[in-house]
Amino acid sequence: MAHVADRLVDTLVGLGVRNVYGVAGDSLNAITNSIRPRSEIRWVPVRHEEAGAFAAGAEAQLTARLAVCAGSCGPGNLHLINGLYDAHRSHAPVLAIAAQIPSPEIGRNYFQETHPELTFRECSYYQAVVSRPEELTPALEKAVETSLSRRGVSVLVLPGDIALSRAVGPPPRPRSGSAAVPPRPSPAEIAELARFVRGAKKVTILAGSGCAQAREPLLALAEKLRAPIVHTLRAKEALEHDNPFDVGMTGLIGFSSGYHAMMDADLLLMLGTDFPYRQFYPEKAKKVQVDWDATQIGRRAAVDLGVVGEVGTTLTALISAAAPKTDDGHLKASLAHYGRSRSALDDLATGIPGKVPIHPQYVAKVVDELAADDAVFTCDVGLPTVWAARYLRMNGRRRLLGSFWHGSMANALPQAIGAQNADRTRQVVSFSGDGGIAMLFGELLTLRQLELPVKVIVFDNSTLGFVELEQISAGFPKADVDLVNPDFAAVANEVGVRGFRAEAPEHVRPMVSEMLAHPGPALLDVVVARQEVAMPPTLDRSVVKGFGLWLIKAVLSGKGDEIVDLAKVNLFR
């Protein structure tokens, strides 16, 4: 006799789902029992449901297929919420199975009763409660189709007793969930877009993740317009490599060259981006935005023209309609500025034997040089994201995942778990902060239990580093950011993960090499400089007023061996 749980698992197997991440619980027994004897799908036990949701989100981003996580009733599925927020905001197709208390008890304030269909409403496109066995088929079909077509989270609330009930009616047969074809701009819109381009002397392109599938027409347009390309962090892996027009990023962790390329333009082409920091948009330049999602047009900055359409199709049409530009002064100046910025950052990534503390930039550079050409990197928020963004080189095969939109701590290790589960033969490296690794430290036990060969770099500076910089540069005394850390390598060795500890620059390269060569899970604890001075791309009063003091200092370019009390810095000099 097939149970509702069997129907659910059969459907997941048919969709190609290979992993279900979660923590076992009594309300999930029917599902885990249905998974257990199968070879096509497996239950992946994590130590915290939040990690399971992060892992599912990472797997979905890497494979572009549906990924699944699950939580038992009440607290179990509530723990999923942070990882689900991240997956949803990262456009990762994830199905969350939220087990529920026995159906006759719902609404009676029963032990562990919550209402996940309400709790997860803000971090999912679809929520359904399966109250009777016959409701599984339509609810599961809709959940799967919604996640795949809209690229986000769907939540299926399933009471434990319903999961154990006999299946009724036809089995679910969800459609592929292919996304609807975005509207094509009309000839009139393309003509208007070409008119804006024709009237501009200095064009700068701000390219976001929506350009990932439009690389060739994007480069062709930049060539025709002699336009520098500023890319967002989420577009780094697709657009940074082999790009003769790239001038880096802008924003909180960007390059001064990217900032100035936008500020010096008289036309900004915003392509497939929802870049959020309004203070980094130029005030005087005209702005044109192209996006397949009409709700994103003008959301961050007022635009002079908005075009709804898929970026690649739109750019192909624009290339034919736009007149070529011969003046490349703006491009050359932007590229020269980028060269100076890049050189200055590279100068910081040095490791002089015997000179401590270790520069975190040097650690990132060494990892970049020694990691595989198709490695998957994950990075915690804050300073690990800075080092990943600035020193990890993308080549079209490497991937970079992080909590780039939701901005959660402790994302890197669980995302690495999902990435490694997606492909156990691929090298996966986590850039973890000491605060992040400690928050979900139990997932090291997951690495050991599952024998996942994830490599974890811990940037150990004994502080919540980015928060400390925020406090000091805002004029506050630093407080409540100090971390009393253990020897992370010793702890890793104790739980069966190979541990290394680097306390001097000469330790870094040999230890990174040995760690990457280790066949199982490994962790390198690197004691790095506590502070890297934060300096802005510009210090004029209008920027200070717009950003707040800490924001204008968030473009990091200082030297770790020149520690400055930022509270005493005269921002207006």
Catalytic residue, from 20, 59, 61, 112: name it.
112
Provide the 8-state DSSP code for 323: P
**Residues 401/423, Cβ–Cβ less than 8 Å:** no
Q: How far apart are CA 74 and CA 30, in angstroms?
A: 17
Catalytic residue, from 20, 23, 44, 49: name it.
49
The amino acid at residue 542 is S
Catalytic residue, from 40, 111, 369, 494: name it.
111
Check if 112 is active-site.
yes
Cα-to-chain-centroid distance, residue 18: 22
Q: Which tokens is 389 given?
A: 């963004």
Find residue 400's DSSP bridge partners.
377
Catalytic residue, from 54, 255, 280, 466: name it.
466
Query: Mind giving me the DSSP string for 471-506?
Result: HHHTTPPP-S-B-----HHHHHHHTTSEEEEE-SHH
Q: How far apart are CA 214 and CA 312, in angstroms?
A: 5
Q: Which tokens is 241 given?
A: 């490599």
* H or E element at residue 149: helix 136-150
Please report the beta strands in 334-478, taking only residues with DSSP state E, as ranges in sequence order: 376-379, 399-402, 428-433, 455-460
Q: How far apart are CA 162 and CA 166, in angstroms?
A: 8
Buried b or exposed e, range 332-368, using 16+ CB within 10 angstroms: ebbbebbeebeeebeebbebeeeeebbbbbbbbbbbb
Check if 497 is active-site.
no
* H or E element at residue 319: helix 311-321
Check if 381 is active-site.
yes
Q: How far apart are CA 427 and CA 398, in angstroms?
A: 10
Check if 471 is active-site.
no
**Residues 434/456, Cβ–Cβ less than 8 Å:** no
Q: How far apart are CA 197 and CA 205, in angstroms?
A: 11
The amino acid at residue 4 is V
Nearest to 458 by CA among 435, 426, 491: 435
Query: Cβ atoms within 10 A of the Cβ of 225, count?
Result: 26
Catalytic residue, from 363, 381, 491, 555: name it.
381
Buried b or exposed e, range 511-544, using 16+ CB within 10 angstroms: bbeebbeeeebbbbbbbbbebbbbbbbeeeeebb
Coil, strand, or helix at residue 433? strand
**What positions carry a catalytic annotation?**
49, 111-112, 381, 466
